């Protein structure tokens, strides 16, 4: 019922073919610099007890944020970039970042843009040392790939970039250089042998047989009555609770034709045989089938009016909400968190902000159905209202089926070519990350504002299979959400 508000700068996937993962850290306070031992409170250093804590002075514009070889990022330059990102966010979304969230958003911008500076300069200086440059042929090849991936011409992509076309071109040129460096100096070292491919295929086949044999054993136990479906689920299944699915979505969720036919033919309370589903093998129990329900506004309105009459006679609001409301808030007795104007659908908002506190208002119709609203508090200063409500859903409901799965993970079927491509991409990521860390160590990268960004492993460590390539990305603020009902 509430509208979701997300404030941030959109990812520029149109320009970035691959991005570098970000470590997580707690953002510092607005404008704060990391505290060094020399900046520790004087009272603590002298051993004198005091309630007054000496804070370090704020950074100066000329202070160094990060140093990569001969490239320096100052606090003033970083803050200028942050201001540009704030303006880009406003232009993109048509609204400001809420003032109470601005300090955190700015610090997140600082961290991501500092990381971008480090990545770009580490790879740019490595390219310079290796004599790698981007020629017109390479630029044209990568531009063609980008346009095919995005379905748009480069000029249109550049014009839509929130930081402006000039910035977009500079970032794209950096990416081309990074790609040329990796493709020239790093990726040629990546090899995958035929023996490795066959070993992986044999492993997949062995794991698949193991799961197949296990599931066949469960099917036999069900057939001879030596175990109940619920007991097998409790002891062995990856998923241990039932889930309800719209019946018309089952073909998309279960692409295998045999699985679709089995789920369609089993009666309520019955179980399927062993089915192949993406990444798993499963047996399903059809717990319940619910037929489609057409929209019935007259019945929904009549029920809402009947409940309102009972409330006016003195019945407990929370109890009736728990028993009748079609909104998830019914589980909380209909209670909603405080909300401001613009967060609720308009008819609900108009009623909630006009009703007197404590009264049971008239039935209100929205696109969700019919609501009975009781305002419980109002904060004029904050501009918020707190209310409870009961929703009687008047919308049509499709047919659904509730399934309890006995499911075990199984390898996805794979052929030799696909496996070779996957292993090659994985090793490219590992090689790129190791190369990046080697260059980072050689350049003695430092980052006083975010020390963890300047650190590099002493020994190369292979990242997880899906670790992205170390290519710079534009900063983005975290989403700022309002809970949805």
Domain boundaries, the chain: 297-393
3-state secondary structure of 265: helix
Strands 280-290 and 400-409: antiparallel
> Which neighbouring-strand residues pair with 388?
335, 374
Quick check: 52 pLDDT over 60?
A: no
Distance CA(196)–CA(416), nearest Å, equals: 10
Q: What is the mean pLDDT of residues 149-159?
A: 91
Give percent above pLDDT 70 in the chain.
83
Question: What pLDDT, on the 0 to 100 scale, is given for residue 162?
Answer: 86
Going by C-beta distance under 8 Å and a sequence separation of 6 or more, which residues neighbour residue 481? 4, 5, 6
Residue-level pLDDT at 255: 87
Mean pLDDT of 108-127: 95
Containing 372, the helix (H) or strand (E) segment is strand 369-379
For residue 464, pLDDT over 50 is answered with no
pLDDT value for 457: 76
Flag whether pLDDT at 73 surpasses 80: yes
> Contact 194/423 with Cβ under 8 angstroms?
no
Q: What percent of the chain has pLDDT over 90?
A: 72
**Average pLDDT over every residue of 362-389:** 95
The stretch 400-408 carries a mean pLDDT of: 96
Per-residue confidence at 463, pLDDT binned at 50, 70, 90?
very low
CA–chain centroid gap for 475, Å, is 16
Report the alpha-carbon distance of residue 180 to residue 164 in Å, rounded.
25
Residue 425, token pair as written in the block: 């991409």
- Where is average pLDDT lowest: 24-38, 46-60, 153-167, 440-454? 24-38
Q: Which of 233, 229, 300, 231 is nearest to 270 (CA)?
A: 229
Place of tokens 């090849």: 141
Q: How far apart are the C-alpha atoms of 94 and 97, rounded to whole Å? A: 10
Residue 82 has pLDDT above 70, yes or no: yes
pLDDT at 5 over 50: no
Distances (CA, A) of 74 to 174, 447, 448: 20, 11, 11
* Residue 23 pLDDT > 80: no
Query: Which residues fall within 8 angstroms of residue 445, CB to CB, at 6 or more apart?
Result: 66, 67, 68, 118, 122, 454, 456
Q: Regarding predicted confidence, which is higher, 6 or 115?
A: 115
Q: Please give the pLDDT value at position 15.
A: 28
Closest among 348, 371, 261, 469 to 3, alpha carbons compared: 348
Helix 229-236, helix 194-224: angle, nearest 10:
150
Query: Which are the contacts of 122, defined by CB distance < 8 A and separation ≥ 6?
Result: 68, 436, 439, 440, 443, 445
| Secondary structure of residue 287 in the 3-state scheme | strand
Q: What Rg value do the Cα atoms of the chain yield, rounded?
A: 30
The answer to whether 353 touches 385, Cβ cutoff 8 Å, is: yes
Q: Counting Cβ atoms within 10 Å, is residue 74 exposed (0-12), middle (13-18) or buried (19+)?
A: middle
Contact 447, 66 (CB under 8 A): yes
297-393: what fold? Answer: Chitinase A; domain 3 (3.10.50)
Q: Report d(CA 112, CA 26) in Å as an integer.
A: 13
């Amino acid at each position: 019922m509430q509208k979701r508000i997300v404030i941030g700068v959109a990812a520029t996937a149109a320009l970035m073919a691959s991005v570098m993962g970000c470590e997580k850290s707690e953002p510092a306070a607005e404008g704060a610099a990391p505290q060094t031992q020399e900046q520790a409170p004087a009272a603590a250093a002298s051993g004198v007890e005091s309630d007054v804590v000496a804070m370090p002075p704020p950074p100066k514009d000329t202070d160094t944020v990060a140093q990569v070889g001969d490239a320096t990022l100052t606090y003033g330059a970083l803050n200028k970039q942050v201001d540009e990102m704030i303006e880009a966010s406003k232009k993109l979304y048509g609204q400001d970042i809420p003032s109470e969230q601005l300090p955190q958003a700015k610090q997140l911008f600082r961290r991501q843009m500092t990381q971008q500076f480090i990545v770009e300069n580490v790879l740019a200086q490595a390219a310079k040392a290796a004599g790698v440059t981007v020629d017109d042929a390479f630029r044209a090849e990568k531009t063609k790939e980008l346009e095919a991936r995005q379905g748009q011409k480069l000029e249109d992509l550049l014009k839509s970039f929130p930081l402006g076309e000039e910035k977009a071109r500079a970032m794209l040129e950096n990416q081309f250089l990074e790609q040329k460096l990796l493709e020239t100096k790093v990726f040629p070292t990546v090899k995958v042998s035929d023996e490795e491919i066959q070993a992986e295929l044999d492993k997949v086949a062995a794991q698949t047989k193991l799961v197949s044999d296990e599931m066949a054993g469960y099917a036999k136990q069900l057939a001879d009555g030596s175990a109940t479906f619920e007991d097998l689920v409790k002891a062995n299944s990856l998923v241990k609770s039932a889930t309800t699915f719209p019946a018309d979505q089952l073909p998309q969720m279960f692409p295998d034709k045999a699985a679709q036919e089995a789920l369609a033919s089993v009666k309520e309370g019955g179980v399927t045989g062993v089915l192949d589903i993406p990444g798993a093998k499963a047996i399903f129990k059809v717990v319940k089938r619910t037929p489609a329900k057409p929209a019935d506004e007259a019945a929904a309105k009549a029920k809402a009016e009947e409940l309102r009459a009972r409330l006016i006679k003195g019945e407990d609001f929370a109890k009736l909400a728990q028993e009748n409301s079609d909104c998830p808030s019914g589980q909380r007795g209909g209670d909603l968190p405080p909300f401001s104007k613009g967060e609720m659908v308009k008819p609900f908002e108009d009623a909630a902000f006009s009703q007197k506190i404590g009264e049971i208002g008239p039935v209100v119709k929205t696109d969700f159905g019919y609501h009975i609203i009781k305002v419980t508090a109002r904060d004029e200063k904050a501009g918020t209202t707190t209310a409870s409500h009961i929703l009687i859903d008047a919308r049509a409901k499709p047919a659904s089926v509730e399934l309890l799965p006995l499911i075990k993970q199984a390898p996805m079927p794979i052929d030799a070519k696909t496996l070779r491509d996957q292993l090659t991409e994985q090793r490219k990521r590992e090689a790129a990350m190791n190369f990046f860390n080697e260059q980072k160590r050689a350049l003695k990268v430092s980052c006083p504002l975010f020390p963890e960004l300047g650190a590099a492993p002493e020994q190369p460590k292979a990242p997880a299979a899906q670790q992205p390539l170390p290519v710079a990305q534009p900063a983005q603020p975290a989403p700022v959400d309002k809970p949805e009902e």
